[in-house]
């Protein structure tokens, strides 16, 4: 069994929230829970998050959607390419988290213990 981790970082690349999803699920289903109750001006995400429902939610929040359009989208929606370059911060965070061998190889058997390992690693990274 595999697990997907959906992570949200702030503008400085620090972890704000994360959510575990089953490996076969699409990442888009976890976004509403992840951004619930947060105020932000823009959301930078990759093509996997190009969905009309997410874009409408971001519009109602008055947040800019910096998400490249999928190649199969009928009407291409442009995005701010200069702002999108800052998405590397989330990739950098995943590189930091993968320094922890137990998280990278998922030694934990249950979701609760894996989530606890993520919280512990995130705390160590924040204290550096």
* pTM for this predicted structure: 0.83
Give one DSSP letter per residue of 85-103, joined into a string: GGGHHHHHHHHHHTTSHHH
Tell me what pLDDT residue 100 has.
92
Tell me what pLDDT residue 1 has.
61
Which position has the token pair 């289903």? 29
The series of mean pLDDT values per 10 residues for the chain, 128 residues long, is 87 92 88 92 93 94 94 91 93 93 84 92 92
3-127 placed in CATH 1.10.3470: no
Nearest of 69, 71, 68 to residue 81 by alpha carbon: 68
Domain ranges of the chain: 3-127
Tell me what pLDDT residue 26 has.
86
Tell me what pLDDT residue 17 has.
94
């Amino acid at each position: 069994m595999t697990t997907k981790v959906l992570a949200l970082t702030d503008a400085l690349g620090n972890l704000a929230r994360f959510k575990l999803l089953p490996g076969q699920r699409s990442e888009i289903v976890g976004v509403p829970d992840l951004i619930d109750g947060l105020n932000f001006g823009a959301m930078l995400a990759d093509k996997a998050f190009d969905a009309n429902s997410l874009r409408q939610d971001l519009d109602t929040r008055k947040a800019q959607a910096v998400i490249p359009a999928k190649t199969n989208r009928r009407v291409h929606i442009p995005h701010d390419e200069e702002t999108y370059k800052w998405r590397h911060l989330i990739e950098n965070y995943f590189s930091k988290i993968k320094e922890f061998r137990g998280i990278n190889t998922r030694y934990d058997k249950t979701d609760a213990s894996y989530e606890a390992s993520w919280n512990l690693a995130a705390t160590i990274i924040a204290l550096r």
